[in-house]
Structure 1
Amino acid sequence: MLCAPAATAHATPQPEGELRHPRLVVTIVIDQFGSDLFNQYRPVFTGGLRRLADEGVVYANGYQTHGMTETCPGHSTVLTGVHPNRTGIAANDWLDRATGEEIYCLAAPENRLADGGQGENGPVGPDNLRASGFGDWLKAASPGSRVFAVSGKDRGAINLAGSHADGTFWWADGFGFTTYLRPGEEAADRLRPVSALNATLQARMETRPALWEPMSGRCAALAGDWPIGDGVLHSTVPPQRLVVDTSPVLDELTVEAAIALLRDQGLGRGSATDLLGVSLSGTDRIAHRYGSQGPEMCQQLLRMDAALGRLVEALSEVPETLVVLTADHGGSDFAERLEARGYPEAGRMDPGVMARLNAAVRDRFHLGFDALKADGSNIYVMGDDGTVPDQLRREVASAVAGMLRVEPGVIDAFTIDELLATPSAARNIHPDLLGLRERIALSTSPVRSADVIFALEPGMTPFPGAAGGYVAGHGTPWDYDRRVPIVFWTRGQTGQERTLPVRTVDIAPTLAHAAGLAAPPDLDGRCLGLAPLARPCAGEGAGTDR
């Protein structure tokens, strides 16, 4: 049951004697911060994560319900209230079937970047999002509401900010915090909210500050050398790769920017509810490069906790602030360390699978070209020019799915047609009980999803692994990638633990209810009852979590 069905979001009157609506909603998304890491480090947090966990309403068993657990899809669920099959953000990237070219999830070719470069992903913007979000609902209901988002990654900020934000910023090395420019927009205008901060940061970075602190304590005990591929990962601090985007500094800078926006823009000080989105990217970047169980991650999490302590303290200055913290997905450690620590199922996918599949398809269908292109657990059927007749594409996809099902390490494979035909499980209130096909179907979007999507057995990864490059990943339909913490906090509340599973798509309708907005009527998520943090959801007890 939804909080308050309506065709469009609109403000509702404040009933006399009831709690006021929050003046500021802060949404914090920690990239690749699954429930496993949250629970593992929760006893040693002393900063913002400790305060949020001790004083907040804590759902330790939150879920990204869908199966293809990547950054862009995960972020897209948090403030839209719908799954990736409806946000249109099926993956971080997909292939254009007409050309064979890779398309970034938030590509916007008509835009420019304010820093004058191309960035990591070229021109970007919210154009590919097919669902509106909480920030859009706020702006529609009260144009005086201000919406800002900041992140280490463009996809972290843009997904949280939505399409009508006052400012959407992410880190660009050598520049500071940048943003996208629509046609006709000027960089100076769009960067004004962060221009003073950028000047400060540029001066600081010119002094080449240390990115890592000396290794000590519990983190030092995690050091070691690990053979990966043809090399050895020296798991130590400081690591061999010294750049901002794979260091704890990335999140510290993001939090600094969030506090600057909070204060400089007077967020939460006006008559309408404001939104501040904060996406912390460092945990994901560090986990990919160094794994999740070494000294690198240990220092990252402790420093991120300290940085969030500064943010929560700043938020305490703003009355009637509602904070929600979650993650876009979880993750696992690299296979070699997992295996050595008692998880023999851990391993890496055979890198020769695609060559075998292409050879089999060429032979069976009498093709003069390799028709399969792979991206992680996604396989596309296309010719050299990107095109394959639709009937042939369907036949090849069906054959490839059958071949994959008997491959060692593969647990199942599905064609896009099978997934699109899967009955929707969007309103299932127990995400842990969804079947494999249902999970992946919630990630599947027409046109944008691959022709074949397969799932490896738990513990297996499609990453080949290379010391000095990516050693670990995520993206599977298993709970170590799907299960994430969800924490709601406001100053002065009493902490509460809630163990039953809820979903990230439940966050947006919950925030809408707290802010006095009527959420769109067709959301996948449902309002969570947070009283006394906010008024109970309408009809609490039927379609809500008590």
Structure 2
Amino acid sequence: MPTAFRPRRLTMSTLSILLLAGAASFAPLAGAAAPAAAKPAGAATAAAAKPKLVVVMVIDGLPSEQVQRYRDQFGPGGLRRLLEQGASFSNAHQAHGVTVTAIGHTAVLSGAYPYRHGIIGNNWLDADGNSVYCTEDKRFTYIGEETDAHDGTSPANLRVDTLGDQLRYATGNRSKVLTVSGKDRGAILLAGKTGTAYMFMDKTGDFASSTYYMQQHPAWVERFQAGKPQDRYYAKSWKPLLAEAAYADDAPYPEATTKSPNRFPFTFYSESGKPDADYYGRLKTSPAVDELTLDFAQAAVEGEQLGSNPSGATDILGISLSGHDYVNHAYGPESRMSHDHLQQIDRRIATFFDFLDRRIGMDNVLVVLTADHGFSNTPEFSQSRHIDAQRIDPKPLLEGLDKALATRFGAAGLVRKSMLPEVYLDYAAIDKRGLARADVENAAARHLLAQPHIAQVFTRTQLEQGVAATSRLGLLMQRAWNRQMSGDLMVVPSAYSFFGSGTSGTTHGTPYNYDSSVPLLIMGKRWIRPGDVGQYTEVVDIAPTLAHILRVRAPAAAEGRVLVEALR
């Protein structure tokens, strides 16, 4: 059982220890620092053989509970293989307070929290109030593709290194680190500073890299693109994989909207009558984008000879499957569409493992599977279960805040901008009127806390002094807050509510368990002991654990621990 958390007041020195301890704040004390058991004869030989290939898989937007709920329906070779032949951590978490794609992917191989690695969201505001996308870099463009101003093209905003960077450093760049994803941020933030990222192009359905990594694609990528595998789905349909009875416990179909039809089969088409950007966009909210991603991963293994490195160095292949996130946003994790989508992913992962077995031999491969975040149920589903869940429209909330501060301090416009959960105050205007910053922050927090469905507000003063980290919720928000980049208020909605002005679908991004709890499965016959592990674990533990197995230095900002309970 995890050690109970006992809130206490923190000095700045205590806060530094707490933040640097990372997962140790909540990890069980029993066994965590126990001396290693004596190794049987011959174990040293097994330990000496490092993996030829490390495969790091991230299923975007996959709550841990879905893996457990549907595990009896999985086929034999995919997720079930990982569950039965690997270490399965049922209490693993993305342990920061803003659970979104960019932050979650960064945690996997950096082992760091946002306050250190600098990726504080998918988007944030700079000092001038301009929107910044997490992987944008106007110095670089996609290769052979249109590139918009805020497209993701490099890891320039990532302030730390990753496991892949350390591996390439240790092997004199002989190790290859290659990543692929349906989202640019999913690939780029796994690849780190020195790996190579490929991402799905919304307008063409191709996978492409950027000029940060190279000036021209290698021949194997050009061959893959020439085959146009993305066009094979045109006029075909996504249909349920299992018998009707298998979906009996799913929520009823949600109300349909123009953008989100709600019943199987889902047909892939475009208004133009041929494959185009409209059609390629439809592929993303389906198993097709994940199948294409794994097809590209297989081509990369062959084209780059991953796992067959002539130098004998270990290679890393990062795969981020984006479709589940799109499906859950549209329909909710309780839906039949989400349920079936995970089954489809499972079967395609099994095919990928079969390929690796033939190509490299799975005894030579170490596999890690996790997720960047979980998901909230749709508010309508939560309300049907008598939970007071709401979509909180940011516009009236922030307008009311600005008006309240104007009334209190006699000055309008003290709220500069917002990208919830972060609110940016206009400190220049506050200073000009001779107001105390802490007074304005506290007044803003009191007003917001008086609004429906707002659970907690942390101010810049609290976060700078470390007093927020006296509770678990506060510590998670503290980890998510970066002194130079983050807002002046961090606003936490009540459980099962979230910020959004839409009328359908759902999202993620809070510190609550349904958003933070993710699967963590590690399989590798020579290195990992199979079994279920209920001990509290964090995604930031992955990088130190892999560094230990690969016998390389852990990333500089990593704060996780080595998962010794899973090691042979």
Which of the five TM-score ranges fits, normalised by the shorter chain?
0.7 to 0.9
Question: What is the alpha-carbon distance in structure 2 between the residues aligned to residue 481 and residue 197 of structure 1?
Answer: 36
2:514 maps to a residue whose letter is: Y
Matches within 5 A, 1:59-458: 59-98=89-128, 100-118=129-147, 121-142=150-171, 143-182=173-212, 185-186=214-215, 189-190=216-217, 192-201=219-228, 204-205=230-231, 208-213=234-239, 217-218=244-245, 221=248, 222=250, 224-227=252-255, 235-238=262-265, 243-270=282-309, 271-317=312-358, 318-319=360-361, 320-340=364-384, 342-349=385-392, 352-369=396-413, 371-382=415-426, 395-422=439-466, 435-458=472-495
1:463 matched to 2:490: no
Q: TM-score, normalised by structure 2?
A: 0.81
Question: What is the alpha-carbon distance in structure 1 between the residues aligned to residue 308 and residue 111 of structure 2?
Answer: 27
1:117 maps to a residue whose letter is: E
Q: Deviations over 1:18-49 (max 9, x none)?
A: 44111111100111111121211112111411
Q: Which residue of structure 2 lines up, in the alignment, with residue 488 of structure 1?
A: 522
1:338 maps to a residue whose letter is: S
Aligned CA distance change for structure 1 residues 232 and 212 (closer, same or farther; 3 Å): closer
Q: Deviations over 1:272-300 (max 9, x none)?
A: 01000001111111111111111211221
* CA positional deviation for 1:370: 6.8
Q: Deviations over 1:314-360 (max 9, x none)?
A: 222324110111111111221001211x2422222255322211211
Q: Which residue of structure 2 lines up, in the alignment, with residue 497 of structure 1?
A: 532
Aligned CA distance change for structure 1 residues 132 and 154 (closer, same or farther; 3 Å): same
Contact 2:413 2:426 in 1 (8 A): no
Unmatched 5+ residue regions in structure 1? 4-13, 426-432, 534-546
Question: What is the alpha-carbon distance in structure 2 between the residues aligned to residue 520 and residue 510 of structure 1?
Answer: 11
Aligned CA distance change for structure 1 residues 136 and 120 (closer, same or farther; 3 Å): same
SS at the partner of 1:58? strand
Aligned CA distance change for structure 1 residues 368 and 156 (closer, same or farther; 3 Å): same
Question: What is the alpha-carbon distance in structure 2 between the residues aligned to residue 374 and residue 240 of structure 1?
Answer: 38
Contact 1:224 1:235 in 2 (8 A): no
Q: TM-score, normalised by structure 1?
A: 0.85
Q: Deviations over 1:516-535 (max 9, x none)?
A: 113256531111115654xx
1:508 matched to 2:543: yes
Question: What is the alpha-carbon distance in structure 2 between the residues aligned to residue 443 and residue 49 of structure 1?
Answer: 30
Q: Deviations over 1:58-107 (max 9, x none)?
A: 10111111111111011111101111111111111111232x21101112
Q: Which residue of structure 2 lines up, in the alignment, with residue 541 of structure 1?
A: none
Question: What is the alpha-carbon distance in structure 2 between the residues aligned to residue 200 and residue 435 of structure 1?
Answer: 51
Aligned CA distance change for structure 1 residues 530 and 155 (closer, same or farther; 3 Å): same
* CA positional deviation for 1:513: 0.8
1:404 maps to a residue whose letter is: L
Contact 2:110 2:555 in 1 (8 A): no
Question: What is the alpha-carbon distance in structure 1 between the residues aligned to residue 353 and residue 429 of structure 2?
Answer: 52
Question: What is the alpha-carbon distance in structure 2 between the residues aligned to residue 482 and residue 241 of structure 1?
Answer: 32
1:94 maps to a residue whose letter is: W
Question: What is the alpha-carbon distance in structure 2 between the residues aligned to residue 516 and residue 137 of structure 1?
Answer: 10
Identity over the aligned pairs, expressed in percent?
31
Aligned CA distance change for structure 1 residues 103 and 522 (closer, same or farther; 3 Å): closer
Deviates more, 1:324-333 or 1:211-220: 211-220
Contact 1:94 1:102 in 2 (8 A): yes
| Cα RMSD, aligned residues only | 3.0
* CA positional deviation for 1:438: 0.7
Question: What is the alpha-carbon distance in structure 1 between the residues aligned to residue 333 and residue 267 of structure 2?
Answer: 17
Aligned CA distance change for structure 1 residues 17 and 484 (closer, same or farther; 3 Å): closer
Contact 1:170 1:179 in 2 (8 A): no
1:49 matched to 2:79: yes
* CA positional deviation for 1:368: 4.5
